[in-house]
């Protein structure tokens, strides 16, 4: 497929799959239940952090998180007694109670001095890679165990940072089509990257958008160069196209 035809195809698919109907089977449905900015942020961060594996399993685990937080996340968090770690019970794959306790402790400390997580991603060069590296440094400043630090990806070590890029897409992109939130305005959509994983990576290769075999940050740079040519303002919209085609269209 020639590039012009591929762009038209992906534009069509992005528009097709960026639709409220998408929410029913996606973990974004969990933060969608809230209107308070801090509720949306912290639920989105927690849910995106556990977003690997079967989507039904992710949603089920996300429901458990909301139950733990009495379905009032921010207010529950600000009253969270960090000495009562033994009261927590949570496991999703390799993310467990130890990790959740640290995430809650870090979030509570951050919200005691800031009203938004957006501040942690802001850097002078305004790049998403720099923003994620800075966020990781600040978020892990409260002495987590080594196992917990592994749940916050590090693009400086060539991780594609799929889950944090998904979180950023949710926070930054416009809510106009009823899917993403658009509650942050200091990070621009043209800087966003798609959440690259095995599924979107394989689809990008099938469409000749990506040659690199590994799904790492170098591969993300490669595919984003092409996607930014297709849409310099909102390249992350093509996440809907690549994911939607791979998840719902068996002919591919």
**Structure confidence at residue 1 (pLDDT):** 73
pTM: 0.96
**Structure confidence at residue 85 (pLDDT):** 75
**Structure confidence at residue 87 (pLDDT):** 79
Q: Please say if the pLDDT value at position 248 is more than 90.
A: no
Q: Which helix (H) or strand (E) holds 101?
A: helix 97-113
Positive or negative: CA dihedral 197, 200, 204, 209: negative
CB-based burial label for 157 (10 Å; 0-12, 13-18, 19+) = exposed
Q: Please say if the pLDDT value at position 82 is more than 90.
A: no
Range of the domain at 122: 3-245
Position 93 in a domain:
yes
What is d(CA 179, CA 175) in angstroms, rounded to the nearest whole number? 6
Per-residue pLDDT band at 83 (split at 50, 70, 90): confident
Position 250 in a domain:
no
Position 120 in a domain:
yes
What is the domain count for the chain?
Answer: 1
**Structure confidence at residue 252 (pLDDT):** 65
Mean pLDDT on 183-191: 97
Higher-scoring residue by pLDDT: 176, 82: 176
Q: What are the distances in angstroms from CA 30 to CA 121, 166, 178, 211?
A: 23, 14, 14, 35
CB-based burial label for 48 (10 Å; 0-12, 13-18, 19+) = buried
What is d(CA 135, CA 1) in angstroms, rounded to the nearest whole number? 39
Position 252 in a domain:
no
Position 137 in a domain:
yes
Compute the mean pLDDT over every residue in the chain, rounded to the nearest whole number.
95
Position 162 in a domain:
yes
Mean pLDDT on 72-85: 90
What is d(CA 220, CA 193) in angstroms, rounded to the nearest whole number? 8
What is d(CA 196, CA 153) in angstroms, rounded to the nearest whole number? 13
Position 251 in a domain:
no
CA 45 to chain CA centroid, Å, is 7
What is d(CA 238, CA 203) in angstroms, rounded to the nearest whole number? 11
Position 68 in a domain:
yes
User: Quick check: 75 and 38 in contact, CB under 8 A?
Assistant: no
pLDDT tens digits for 120-151? 999 999 999 999 999 999 999 999 999 999 99
């Amino acid at each position: 497929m020639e590039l012009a035809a591929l762009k038209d195809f992906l534009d069509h698919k992005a528009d097709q799959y960026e639709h409220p109907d998408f929410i029913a089977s996606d973990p974004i449905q969990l933060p969608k239940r809230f209107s308070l900015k801090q509720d949306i942020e912290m639920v989105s961060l927690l849910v995106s952090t556990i977003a690997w594996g079967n989507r039904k399993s992710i949603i089920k685990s996300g429901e458990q998180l909301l139950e733990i937080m009495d379905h009032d996340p921010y207010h529950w968090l600000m009253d969270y007694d960090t000495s009562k770690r033994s009261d927590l019970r949570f496991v999703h794959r390799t993310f467990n109670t130890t990790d959740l306790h640290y995430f809650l402790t870090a979030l509570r400390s951050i919200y005691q001095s800031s009203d938004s997580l957006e501040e942690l991603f802001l850097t002078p060069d305004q790049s998403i890679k720099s923003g994620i590296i800075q966020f990781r440094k600040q978020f892990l400043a409260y002495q987590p165990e080594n196992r917990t630090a592994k749940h916050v990806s590090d693009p400086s070590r060539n991780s594609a940072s799929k889950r944090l890029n998904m979180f950023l897409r949710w926070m930054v992109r416009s809510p106009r089509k009823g899917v993403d939130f658009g509650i942050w305005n200091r990070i621009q959509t043209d800087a966003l990257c798609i959440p690259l994983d095995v599924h979107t990576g394989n689809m990008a290769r099938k469409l000749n958008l990506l040659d690199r075999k590994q799904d790492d940050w170098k591969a993300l740079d490669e595919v984003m160069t092409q996607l930014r040519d297709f849409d310099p303002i909102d390249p992350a919209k093509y996440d809907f196209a690549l994911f939607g085609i791979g998840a719902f269209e068996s002919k591919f």
